Structure 1
Amino acid sequence: MSSVVYESSVTAVGSQVEPFLGHQVMILFGADSPPELHDISVLHRAEVAEDGPRPGDTIHIGGADLEVLAVGDVVRDNLLNLGHLDLKADGRTEPKLPGDVCVPKGDLPLPAAGQRFAITRRGAAAAGAGVGGGA
């Protein structure tokens, strides 16, 4: 059984997101982020914000399920405080930068407004309130 530790709805996709995807990078920010970040970001609004990703978790976005391989030291705080996440499909098991979330090498999906962005964790209850749910 998987628990949802973070879940949001995509509110907008910036005009520069697709070129970044060509470099296996997706940048997410909360919908209330400064306007100068909107062109490069997938904007989203959180509904569940119990925890950030950990290795072994699954990120669900744009119809894809991506295994988390590595997480930098500032990822949890950035996600919970700013809705910010740097998703990199580089296959690394150690993050290169403190804000990186590494997933297997490959193409990242282009999400659309209205789609779900979620992080699920197997086995353990979600941090805090123990929000249940599947992927």
Structure 2
Amino acid sequence: MTTSDSQVVWESEVTQVGGQVEAFLDHGLLIFFGDNAPAELHDMSVLHRAAISDDGPRAGDLLLVGGTEMEVLAVGHVVRDNLLNLGHLDLKADGRTEPNLPGDVCVRTGDLPLLKAGDTFRITRPAGSDQEN
């Protein structure tokens, strides 16, 4: 899917939200896994099923998480492979411009949304962006 302004590189639908997800939100953390993740990860994760899985996030991309849009500030070096292979991503609202851990995706400091089944998780890339992670 492409528009003149941006390209969707990832899009998925939330299938389940674990019981502990809200507690992690209090610490600025939202953990995603593909809906085929092992059962022991379900309680702490947002499970989702990809419809578009062309790439992982890069700094400067926009995330739509539920109804909340935010700019990606930093991306760890294993994020792309984790997302494409496992549907896994650790979203941290810490405002960092350099990731603390190799699996971090950093966005502005603030509240992350509590998702529900049926919500959208989307990554869009500005048109003409050739920035690397």
Say whether the fold is shared (TM-score over 0.5). Answer: yes
- Tell me how far 1:124 sits from its aligned partner: 3.1
Give unmatched runs, 5+ long, in structure 2: none
Deviations 1:66-108 (A, max 9, x none): 1000000000000000000000000000000000000000000
Q: CA deviation at 1:37?
A: 0.1
Aligned equivalent of 2:39: 35
- Tell me the amino acid that sits aligned with residue 122 of structure 1: P
Q: Deviations over 1:44-76 (max 9, x none)?
A: 000100000000001101210010000000000
> For this pair of structures, how many residues does the alignment match?
126
Runs of 4+ in 1 over 2 A off after TM superposition: none
Counterpart mapping for 1:32-111 below 5 A:
32-111=36-115
Quote the residue 1:121 is aligned against. 125
More displaced 10-residue stretch of structure 1: 59-68 or 85-94: 59-68
Deviations 1:97-121 (A, max 9, x none): 0000000000000111001100000
Separation (CA, whole Å) in 2 of partners of 1:27 and 1:6? 16
Name the structure 2 match of 1:133: none
User: What do you get for the CA RMSD once the two structures are aligned?
Assistant: 1.2
Q: What is the distance in 1 between the residues matched to 2:31 and 2:117?
A: 15
Distance in 2 between residues matched to 1:68 and 1:116, nearest whole Å: 17
Residue of structure 1 equivalent to 2:16: 12
Give the TM-score taking structure 1 as reference length. Answer: 0.91
Aligned equivalents of 1:104 and 1:78: distance in 2? 22
